Amino acid sequence: MNQVQSSFHTSLSEELKWRGFFAENTITDPRSLDSRPHKNFYWGTDPSADSLHVGHLAALMMCACFVRHGYTPFYLVGGATGQIGDPKETAERDLKSLDEIAKNKAALAAQIVHVTHSPKDTKILDNLDWFKDIKFLPFLREIGKAFSMTQLLDRQFVQHRIGKDGSGISYAEFSYTLIQGYDFLHLFRTHQIDLQLCGADQYGNCTSGMHLIRRLENARADVYSCPLILDQSGKKLSKSEGNAVWLDPTKTNVFDFYQYWLNQPDAVLESYLKQFTLISPTELDDLLTKHTKDPSKRLAQRYLAYAVTEFVHSQPDADLARKLTSLLFESTDLANDLTSLTDAELDAMTATLPSTPAKTTLIDALLSTQLATSKNDAKKLIAAGAISINGTKATTDQAIDTLSLLKKGKNKFAIVR
């Protein structure tokens, strides 16, 4: 299935509901989204890293849903807010250098256009463009006066930081919500944007802008959020949690990206297929029926892994990830299948897996690819039958002079080339 085009034919509100793109929001009647007077929205992220991750992808897939139904997107990369840092509930963020922020902004802007399959003239905004000329006293007079301390102190992240055993919070991070709120006000004034999309964790900050628009412009604006994506331990996927699955293939390579989706448990398959692919209800029902008949074939996981990899990266990348997965985990003649790979496929495998040159020994290869931590560790692994070469268990140290695939346990690999 071509993941750039959706075969879902219904209204926006119906598709959002079916795909599970709804969490906290200010829309009292979801059907109002179908005929909103100004079909503009914005979604923003700060340049805290040089890549988006799977947590962002859920929100971007929601954005793409709005775009398919006629909305004009405005994507904001926060060069101003990125200089402060979105407050965490645990501690202050480390400030990024201005050079790093500039580098990250450029990387994220390009990635948003690529991942959303948007035209090159997609509106990418930077809030530094308007904040660089704002003076402190006028900002306090207009924006600071529009908020009460009670309102700000009620924010959950503030409560966590100033409550018992809290780490405290700087004035800079405390002010973050005012800066983000001003973004919404500015975009309302300059682009008639009265809808902000976000992940559920940003809902509170986003309502600050809605509050400003109501108070200073006597107009209504809305915030619409999607659920957070959690790992199997219940933590949200993010850089700060240390569990991010990056969209940049130099940070999470395409093979590992594919494996992430392939290894999802059955419990999340239906929701992930709805949110991270463009599958239609009829296609989903058919796929899940086939999957349920024989879950061991992992048909739904295979569809999910291929579809998301194709969408985020490319069809050739998805084809290669699927082929390498088949070779690594399903081959019955590994030595022969390895030699049948093209140079380009071998290059991709070498870029994906730890590798070492041929004309080596098994123990040296295990050490150089970090499958073993020491020669003694390597010997123990071999003696325990935990190491195989081209699908055959190794029983002793031996010379490796040709293209070979080493395997440790069930899913640790290295290539000797």
Residue 152 lies in a domain: yes
pLDDT band at 332, cuts 50/70/90?
confident
Question: What local confidence, expressed as pLDDT, does residue 162 receive?
Answer: 83
How does the average pLDDT of the chain come out, rounded? Answer: 91
Question: What local confidence, expressed as pLDDT, does residue 9 receive?
Answer: 63
Question: What local confidence, expressed as pLDDT, does residue 18 receive?
Answer: 96
Question: What local confidence, expressed as pLDDT, does residue 392 receive?
Answer: 92
Q: Are residues 312 and 339 located together in one domain of the fold?
A: no
Summarised one tens digit per residue, pLDDT across range 11-49 is: 999 999 999 999 999 999 999 999 999 999 999 999 999
Average of per-residue pLDDT across 265-291: 96
Q: Are residues 191 and 257 located together in one domain of the fold?
A: no
Pick from 240-244, 286-290, 332-336, 357-361: least confident: 240-244
Of residues 54 and 152, which shows the higher confidence score? 54
Question: What local confidence, expressed as pLDDT, does residue 241 receive?
Answer: 66
Question: What local confidence, expressed as pLDDT, does residue 7 receive?
Answer: 52
Of residues 329 and 261, which shows the higher confidence score? 261
Token pair recorded at residue 52: 């988006």
Question: What local confidence, expressed as pLDDT, does residue 1 receive?
Answer: 42
Please identify, among 330, 355, 383, the residue that sits at the C-terminal boundary of a domain. 330
Question: What local confidence, expressed as pLDDT, does residue 282 receive?
Answer: 94
Average of per-residue pLDDT across 391-397: 93
| 401 pLDDT higher than 90 | yes
- For a pLDDT cut of 90, what percent of the chain falls above it? 71
Q: What is the CATH number of the domain that holds 218?
A: 3.40.50.620
Q: Are residues 55 and 200 located together in one domain of the fold?
A: yes
Question: What local confidence, expressed as pLDDT, does residue 2 receive?
Answer: 45
Please give the Cα distance from 154 to 150 (Å, whole number): 6
Q: Are residues 326 and 342 located together in one domain of the fold?
A: no
Summarised one tens digit per residue, pLDDT across range 132-144 is: 999 999 999 999 9
Question: What local confidence, expressed as pLDDT, does residue 171 receive?
Answer: 87
Q: Are residues 342 and 325 located together in one domain of the fold?
A: no
| 8 pLDDT higher than 80 | no
Domain that holds residue 199: 12-226
Q: Are residues 324 and 339 located together in one domain of the fold?
A: no
Question: What local confidence, expressed as pLDDT, does residue 168 receive?
Answer: 83
Pick from 18-27, 239-248, 373-382, 392-401: least confident: 239-248
pLDDT band at 305, cuts 50/70/90?
very high
| 4 pLDDT higher than 50 | no
Residue 238 lies in a domain: no
Please give the Cα distance from 39 to 51 (Å, whole number): 28
Q: Are residues 168 and 316 located together in one domain of the fold?
A: no
Average of per-residue pLDDT across 156-183: 84
Residue 110 lies in a domain: yes
Q: Are residues 311 and 403 located together in one domain of the fold?
A: no
Question: What local confidence, expressed as pLDDT, does residue 54 receive?
Answer: 94
| 6 pLDDT higher than 70 | no
Question: What local confidence, expressed as pLDDT, does residue 3 receive?
Answer: 47
Looking at the 3D structure of the chain, how many domains does it have?
3
- For a pLDDT cut of 70, what percent of the chain falls above it? 97
Please identify, among 306, 330, 354, the residue that sits at the C-terminal boundary of a domain. 330
Q: What is the CATH number of the domain that holds 387?
A: 3.10.290.10
What pTM value is reported for the model?
Answer: 0.88
Average of per-residue pLDDT across 362-368: 96
Q: Are residues 312 and 400 located together in one domain of the fold?
A: no
Question: What local confidence, expressed as pLDDT, does residue 410 receive?
Answer: 86
Summarised one tens digit per residue, pLDDT across range 72-117 is: 999 999 999 999 988 877 778 888 999 999 999 999 999 999 988 8
